[in-house]
Amino acid sequence: MLIVMKKAATPAEIDNVCKVVQSLNLESHPMPGAQRTAICITGNKGSVTKDNFSNLPGVKDVIRVSKPYKLVSRETKIEDTTFKVGDVTIGKDFAVIAGPCSVEEESITLRIAEKLKAHGINLFRAGAFKPRTGPYSFQGLGEQGLEILAKVKQQLGLSIVTEVIDIEKIEMVAEVADVLQVGTRNMANTSLLKKLSKINKPVLLKRGMSATLDEYLQAAEYIMLGGNYQVILCERGIRTFNDHCRNTLDIAAIPTLQERTHLPIFADPSHAAGRTDLVAPLSLACVAAGAQGLLLEAHDDAANAYSDGQQAFHPDNLYNLQQKIINVREGLCLTT
Ligand code: PEP
Ligand code: MN
């Protein structure tokens, strides 16, 4: 249920509604917006009705939220969610997060990061912990990888996006990461999501490779429900019968998600394509569909990359791609 407060509702009135909600053994989640505050109620098993709130001072409307997700829903918050990561305002500035699939040896990682920085990249991605399909594949440098990422941050001033795969490692990863990534294989790991709901760092949640949008948004709801409202969604391709690329980029998911949620929607053309030659065209397709950012795998020596070299985008080609992104956004009047 959603309680929509009047534009002129006072903080005391909002507070009072929250207290009434709590007195009914339910949870209240005030969501301030540019126009008005909405208070989302969770935990209602049906016993509480509109009448409990309709006549409280400052209340404009009480709406039933039929969807299985509430806090992430556009119904709850009309305006796009924005938050800062370094100097970038996620959800407002178009953001490109780029870097190798895995953190590699220090000199290689720093070299790639420098090249990316020279192309205006502020957000550096690389996995220290890698959730690989097979146990014989490179599993990441682990803690040592985090130390290397800390150097990238310290020496180049880049913000760090890196994956967390275990609950026990959240604190360790959060010490270095500016954004914690949850990979496709962990989208439905609810214990991990619940723990991430308690940290004060943004989470980039990738779509599960066979997840419907309702399932995906409910995964994001786990993170918001615990109090972490800084969530980025990322479409990274889903499993289909196609055998011409690694996954099928679900372009339609981008505008559909934007309709259903206020959270920022990113796209990862690299894992969708699985092939370097498709990364640029898919990036542009995502931009045209309204993605608010991209997660790109980039490497300057793809043949020797520790993982996913077959889809690595060369930093030297970034300038060209960025120009095309600007053209697409300007052509579609997407620039802010
Ligand atoms: C990654 O970003 O390196 C990754 C493992 O992606 P995904 O979880 O989408 O497969
Ligand atoms: Mn990868």
DSSP secondary structure, 231-259, as one string = EEEEE--B--S--SSSSB--TTHHHHHHH
The answer to whether 16 touches 59, Cβ cutoff 8 Å, is: no
CA of 191 to the centre of ligand 2 (A): 23
Q: Is the pLDDT of residue 246 over 80?
A: yes
- 27-32, strands of its sheet edge to edge: 27-32, 37-42, 2-5, 59-63
Q: How many CA atoms lie within 13 A of 324 on its CB side?
A: 15
pLDDT of residue 199: 98
Closest to 125 (Cα-Cα) out of 267, 319, 295: 295
Q: What is the CATH number of domain 83-331?
A: 3.20.20.70
End-to-end CA distance of the chain: 33
Residues 7-53: tens digit of each pLDDT: 999 999 999 999 999 999 999 999 988 889 999 999 888 788 899 99
pLDDT of residue 129: 98
Q: How many residues does the chain have?
A: 336
Q: Whose CA is nearest to atom 9 of ligand 1?
A: 184
Q: Is the pLDDT of residue 201 over 80?
A: yes
By three-state DSSP, how is residue 113 classified? helix
pLDDT band at 281, cuts 50/70/90? very high
* Nearest atom in ligand 1 to 185's CA: 8
What does DSSP assign to residue 263? Answer: S
pLDDT of residue 46: 78
Whole-prediction pTM value? 0.97
* Tokens linked to 31: 């969501």
Q: Is the pLDDT of residue 318 over 70?
A: yes
Residues 6+ apart with CB under 8 A from 3: 17, 21, 38, 39, 40, 41, 53, 59, 61, 62
* Nearest atom in ligand 1 to 236's CA: 9
Question: d(Cα 184, Cα 234) in Å, to the nearest integer?
Answer: 9
Give the CATH number of domain 2-63; options: 3.40.640.10, 3.90.870.40, 3.40.50.150, 3.30.70.1140.
Answer: 3.30.70.1140
Q: Is the pLDDT of residue 335 over 80?
A: no
The answer to whether 139 touches 306, Cβ cutoff 8 Å, is: no
pLDDT of residue 34: 86
The answer to whether 297 touches 311, Cβ cutoff 8 Å, is: yes
Q: Whose CA is nearest to atom 6 of ligand 1?
A: 183
Q: Is the pLDDT of residue 5 over 80?
A: yes
Q: Is the pLDDT of residue 336 over 70?
A: no
The pLDDT mean for the chain works out to 96
Residue recorded with tokens 């609810």: 190
pLDDT of residue 13: 97
For range 140-164, the mean pLDDT:
98
Domain boundaries, the chain: 2-63, 83-331
Closest ligand, as measured to the CA of 312: 2
- Count of CB atoms within 10 A of residue 236's CB? 23
* Tokens linked to 172: 């360790």
Q: Is the pLDDT of residue 250 over 90?
A: yes
Q: Is the pLDDT of residue 205 over 90?
A: yes
* Nearest atom in ligand 1 to 181's CA: 2
CA of 223 to the centre of ligand 2 (A): 23
What does DSSP assign to residue 67? Answer: S
